[in-house]
Amino acid sequence: MITPAQLAGMVDHTILKPETTTDDIHAHCAQAVALGVYSVCVSPSFLPIAPDWLHGVHVATVCGFPSGKHKAGIKATEAARAVTDGAEEVDMVLDIGNAISGDWAAVRADVSAVREAIPASVLKVIIESAALTDQQIIEVCTICADAGADFVKTSTGFHPAGGATEHAVALMRRTVGDALGVKASGGIRSWESAVAMVDAGASRLGLSGTAEVLTGGTSAGDY
């Protein structure tokens, strides 16, 4: 059975709401340190984060967020700037319209552009699994692996189709095997749902209500 400390070590403690302020980021980082999470995930406009706010907690950010409807070169530039500003990990949003239409070359180009822009950083690809069929999920995850991604990630937490499901996480894990990480995010608001995602194959969790999840409560919020 996983412990709260072990689960915390898998968490990207996330704050991506558009109304977020610098004071919110400071408080979020303080909570991240207190909870012992792996990283904070913040909007790129808040980078760089002062090291004395982090005390060893890693820094992640997003690009092409939340729609993914940005040209690949724009995502690449955004990701590169974020890394220059101190991000160690970048969660890019795939243009899922390309996956839905079966334009696999465009899917590959999207991921490859960002990978090439940040060759030494961790790249997670958000595929909005709830909006895709199982076969589309398999195709996208296979391409992400081939294009050099480090993780495939279920969701932004903003798409109306929904967030992470155990089924999607398990399918993503079966597709990528041990070669990539699988990040479950979007709608994970309780200890039980977080553990279920880990049991299904998630190696990282994106949580906004991290404190409530770790204490066995229920978070009312999302990203």
Q: What is the CATH number of the domain that holds 47?
A: 3.20.20.70
Domain count, the chain: 1
Residue 16 has pLDDT above 90, yes or no: yes
- What are the residues facing 124 on neighbouring strands? 91, 151
Contact partners, residue 212, CB within 8 Å, separation at least 6: 189, 190, 218, 219
pLDDT digits (tens, 9 = 90+) for 172-187: 999 999 999 999 999 9
Contact present, 169 and 200 (Cβ < 8 Å): yes
The per-residue pLDDT for 97 is 98
Alpha helices for 9-165 (secondary structure H): 22-35, 72-84, 96-101, 104-117, 134-146
For residue 55, with 0-12 CB atoms within 10 Å meaning exposed, 13-18 middle and 19 or more buried, which class applies?
A: exposed
What is the rounded CA–CA span in Å between residue 134 and residue 150?
A: 21
CA distance 172 to 180: 10
CA distances, 143 to each of 99, 112, 129, 146, 188 (Å): 11, 10, 14, 5, 26
Supply the residues annotated as catalytic: 91, 153, 183
* Entry pTM: 0.96
Please state, in angstroms and rounded to a whole number, the distance separating the CA atoms of residues 59 and 3: 23
DSSP state at residue 181 = E
pLDDT in tens, 66-107: 999 999 999 999 999 999 999 999 999 999 999 999 999 999
pLDDT over 60 at 31, yes or no:
yes
* In-domain check, residue 221: no
Query: What is the phi/psi pair of residue 127, to 5°?
Result: -105, 0
What Cα–Cα distance (Å) separates residue 178 from each residue in 145, 158, 188?
Answer: 11, 28, 23
**Helices and strands in the chain: count of H runs, count of E runs:** 9, 8
Q: Tens digits of per-residue pLDDT, 191-214?
A: 999 999 999 999 999 999 999 999
Mean pLDDT of the chain: 96
In a domain, 64, yes or no: yes
Mean pLDDT of 112-116: 98
Give the mean pLDDT of 137-146. Answer: 98
CA distances from 176 to 1, 26, 139, 153 (A): 24, 36, 11, 12
**220, part of any domain:** no
Contact 185, 206 (CB under 8 A): yes
**Is position 223 within any domain?**
no
Q: By the 8 A CB rule, do 125 and 90 touch? A: no
Residue 219 included in any domain: no
Handedness of CA 97, 101, 102, 108 (dihedral sign): negative
Residue among 16, 60, 10, 62 nearest 38 (CA): 10
Q: What percent of the chain has pLDDT over 90?
A: 96
Give the residue numbers spanning the domain of 166.
4-214
Looking at residue 218, its pLDDT comes to 61
